[in-house]
Each structure stands twice: as structure tokens, then as C-alpha cells.
């Protein structure tokens, strides 16, 4: 992300998913404010949005924000050969 944030300063919002899972409302409010959008309580319930989703994550997007999977990638860390630096 460092490359992209350097290329487009003040244009890319970095959302820390770990923080989102711990404090969903605060992190969501920060993102909505950054985007210049109006706050709606529905922002805390994206799983209730019934609009069509045509991406590979169409099933996941219908689930509540949850914490259980956010660190599952760590079990693969030994095989990533430092691809993510010092996370």
C-alpha cells in the first residue's frame, strides 16, 4: 500500500480490518467522514443491504463484520517468505 499512498496522497483510505472488527462503529464513521458521505445507521449493518453484488465476495458481503477470520492468514505466514514485511 505504501507505493499507492505515495502515488495518490490523500486519495486512498487505509482501513485496518483488525480495528474494524474490534470497533466497527468508530472505524466505519471515520471512513464515511473521509469519503464525505452522510452517516446512516445502516452503515453498521452492510449485511442487510439487498443490492445485487457481482463480485467473488458476494457471499461474504452478506455476513456481519466478524473477527474470527481476520487473523487466519497468519497460519500461512511461514510460506509467504516475508511478502508482507513485518506485520
**Confidence (pLDDT) at 86:** 58
Q: List C-alpha distances in Å: 5 to 11, 14, 15, 19.
A: 7, 9, 13, 20
Percent of the chain with pLDDT over 90: 37
Could you list the residue range(s) of the whole structural domain that residue 70 is in? Answer: 2-79
Structure confidence at residue 44 as a pLDDT band (50, 70, 90): very high
- Asked if the structure places residue 86 within a domain, the reply is no
In a domain, 20, yes or no: yes
- Return the C-alpha cell found at 4: 499507492
Number of domains in the chain: 1
pTM above 0.75, yes or no: no
- Count of Cβ atoms closer than 10 Å to residue 21 Cβ: 16
What nine digits make up the cell of 3?
A: 507505493
Residue 11 in any domain: the answer is yes
Residue 65 lies in a domain: yes
Residue 21 within any structural domain of the chain: yes
> Which tops the pLDDT comparison, 58 or 23?
23
Residue 84 lies in a domain: no
Report the C-alpha gap between 73 and 45 in whole angstroms. Answer: 25
51-73 tens-digit pLDDT: 887 887 777 777 777 766 666 77
Name which of 10-19, 25-34, 77-86 the model is least confident about: 77-86
Amino acid at each position: 500500500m505504501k507505493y499507492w499512498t505515495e502515488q495518490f496522497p490523500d486519495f486512498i483510505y487505509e482501513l485496518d480490518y483488525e480495528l474494524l472488527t474490534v470497533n466497527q462503529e468508530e472505524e466505519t464513521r471515520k471512513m464515511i467522514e473521509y469519503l464525505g458521505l452522510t452517516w446512516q445507521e445502516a452503515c453498521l449493518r452492510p449485511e442487510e443491504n439487498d443490492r445485487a453484488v457481482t463480485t467473488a465476495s458476494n457471499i461474504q458481503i452478506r455476513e456481519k463484520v466478524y473477527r474470527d477470520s481476520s487473523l487466519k492468514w497468519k497460519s500461512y505466514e511461514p510460506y509467504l517468505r516475508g511478502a508482507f514485511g513485518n506485520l
